[in-house]
Structure 1
Amino acid sequence: MIRAVRTGVCAALLVVPGMVTACGSSVDSPAARTSASVSVDVSAEVTIAVRIAGGSVTPTNIRTEARQFQPIVIKVDSDAADELHVHSEPSQTFAVEPEAGQEFRFIVTVPGRVDVELHHAGKTVTTLLIRQ
């Protein structure tokens, strides 16, 4: 029975993105589990593709998970000018032009929920769930 519990814990740890671990006795100690959960690769970018066309915004109201200090890239194809607001601390604003292939890069330094909105369209593109 103990072995089944250890295998279940190891399987759960293996599916966490950016985490490298192996099944074994070192994962079973509380100290090892704590240090393993902190070793996340924050260098990998989180990318969100946004399309603004004919007054419609895609996507809207999605949830996106990221880590504190992880680069976030929002790629925008738009047929209208707008402003992209990132309601982080401090807040960040990007001018959207009516053109394809725009990229806006930023990081969020404070964990929590961060809305990313298009000001003129009045749409929330995503809510970022920023973890430590």
Structure 2
Amino acid sequence: MVLAVALAVGCGGRATTHHKPGTSHQEATGGSGTLLPAKDEAGHRLREVPAAGAPAVRADARPDTEGGWNVHLTVERFRFTPESVGGAAIPGRGHARLLVDGKEAGRVYGPWHHIPPGARTVTVRLHADDHTVWAVAGRPIEATVPLTGAAPTAGATATPTATATAAGRTVAITVSGTSVQPPPSRVELKQGERITLRVTSDRADTLHVHGYDRELPLAPGEPASLTLTADRTGLFEVETHESGLLLTQLVVR
């Protein structure tokens, strides 16, 4: 496994200097990002912000026992603001949009959304209140999750994302630059269950399992494995030390 005089720009529209009551002129005109000429697939303009302090989003998809997928969003330095949609672009505020198999499927104002059966991928993209797309280095701030395997039918049991074996479960992760595959998600475990993290990184780094204080050196291009018994309950993040990437989250119940 959750924001008016502001510079208000619509989807490709002209900037204005009007703002809503209660929003200062400084909020409205300062730090709202640079509007780029580039647009996304749906025609929304990109709004560039510095990488330092930029919003971030992570997503994971879980099969729903009644069909389809439940997508969970985790945002950082960002707040959903349905009450001010259509207003000014203020950093750290706005909404998300879902793209299912590359096609826009709707807005999201909270951490959960259901995807019907049949989809193959879902992308979550962060937008400002004026519908522009928050971007860093000319690229939208987004997260894409593959919907692997068949979604269960009604009454079926959800399939875990990790591979189950007689010796426990194995999660294979590949790190290339700032890309993590499969995208970070949550692995559900029962207390006492064993899990092996098999990680291949393109650079020297160190794997760290928070809460368990377990570490694993990573050599460039060489698969490395760490096996632990999930004897503590809670949510535990698995990250890399040097690059600071989230690889996965372990949820132990």
Please indicate the TM-score interval, normalised by the length of the shorter structure.
Answer: 0.5 to 0.7
User: Could you tell me how far 1:86 is from its partner in structure 2?
Assistant: 0.5
Please state if 1:52 is matched with 2:175.
yes
Give identity over the alignment, percent: 32
TM-score (norm 2): 0.34
Q: Report if aligned partners of 2:238, 2:247 keep a CA contact under 8 Å in 1.
A: yes
User: Could you tell me how far 1:111 is from its partner in structure 2?
Assistant: 0.6
Gap regions ≥5 residues in structure 1: 1-10, 18-42
Please state if 1:94 is matched with 2:216.
yes
Please state if 1:127 is matched with 2:225.
no
CA gap 1:101/1:61 in 2 versus in 1, 3 angstroms: closer
* Equivalent position of 2:100 in the other structure: none
Displacement over 4 Å in runs of 4+: none
* Equivalent position of 1:83 in the other structure: 206
User: Could you tell me how far 1:50 is from its partner in structure 2?
Assistant: 1.0
The RMSD of aligned alpha carbons is: 2.6
* Equivalent position of 1:15 in the other structure: 157
Q: Secondary structure at the match of 1:72?
A: strand
Please state if 1:107 is matched with 2:249.
no
| Greater Cα radius of gyration, structure 1 or 2 | 2
Structure 1 counterpart of 2:179, one-letter code: S
* Equivalent position of 1:37 in the other structure: none
Which deviates more, 118-127 or 49-58? Answer: 49-58
Between structures 1 and 2, the one with greater strand share? 2
TM-score (norm 1): 0.60
Higher relative contact order (CA 8 A, sep 6+): 1
Q: How many residue pairs were aligned?
A: 96
What CA distance in whole angstroms lies between the structure 2 residues aligned with 1:57 and 1:111?
25
Q: Report if aligned partners of 1:44, 1:70 keep a CA contact under 8 Å in 2.
A: no
Gap regions ≥5 residues in structure 2: 1-153, 160-165
- Cα deviations by residue, 1:102-128 (Å, 9 ceiling, x for unpaired): 211112211111111111121111111
Between structures 1 and 2, the one with greater helix share? 1
Q: Secondary structure at the match of 1:69?
A: coil
What CA distance in whole angstroms lies between the structure 2 residues aligned with 1:106 and 1:46?
10
